[in-house]
A = this chain, B = another copy of it.
Amino acid sequence: MPYDYIKSPADIYRKSFALVGEALAGHEIPRPLLPIAKRLVHTCGDPSLVEVLDWSPDFLDAGLKGLATGLFVDVEMVSAGITARFLPTGVKPVCQLNHPDVAGLAQALGTTRSAAAVNLWGAALDGALVVIGNAPTALFHLLEGVEAGNLARPAAMVAMPVGFVGAAESKEAVAASDIPYIAVHGTRGGSALAASVVNALALMARNESQE
């Protein structure tokens, strides 16, 4: 039997963001950050996510500047979630997790491959946007490296590692750092959420909002 459902992509998109907007009506989200909050909820289907959403006052400006400079992500699934055609010209997500040197480097450093891959971001990390959607160890390693002066300083961080081992603590460490950030606190997070923040920022940079 045929089902009764909306088939027009434009109608789906419009109705979806309208319903997300309604779902967020009771939440106090600063207007400039609303497109990001909406896209996060659009991605996971869970309006309660905004209750643990947190950002530094300087995140939006710093994040937009960072995105125009460069984009570093912890896992390929974040890259897969980023809509390439939204990005500023010449900007492509860089993921070094599968670089041939990473396994050996991780072993030498006594840490995860995700953390070791951060070391391969190099000088281009300076002033760029960092997006962590999976590994708390990558986030801790980045903070340690920046604080110790061993790694270049990113403009801003999207901090959305997920899980029960270190994720919550790594996001608290980000919030206590002096790098501009947006984070989903607690155990929730993930690549799709992290990527959705990049998509929202990229649309804002083009003055195309999903609102």
Q: A residues near B, CB below 8 A? A: 1-3, 5-9, 12, 15-16, 19-20, 23, 42-46, 76-77, 79-81, 106, 110-113, 115, 136-137, 140, 143-144, 147, 162-167, 169-170, 173, 186-192
| Identical chains in the assembly | 2
The contact sample of 25 A-B pairs, CB cut-off 8 A, is A2-B144, A5-B136, A5-B170, A6-B137, A7-B111, A7-B115, A7-B137, A9-B106, A9-B113, A12-B112, A12-B137, A12-B165, A12-B166, A15-B165, A16-B165, A42-B163, A43-B162, A44-B162, A45-B163, A45-B164, A45-B188, A76-B80, A77-B81, A190-B190, A191-B192
Please measure, in the bound complex, the distance between the C-alpha atom of A137 and the C-alpha atom of B11, giving whole angstroms: 12
Contact A1 B147 (CB under 8 A): yes
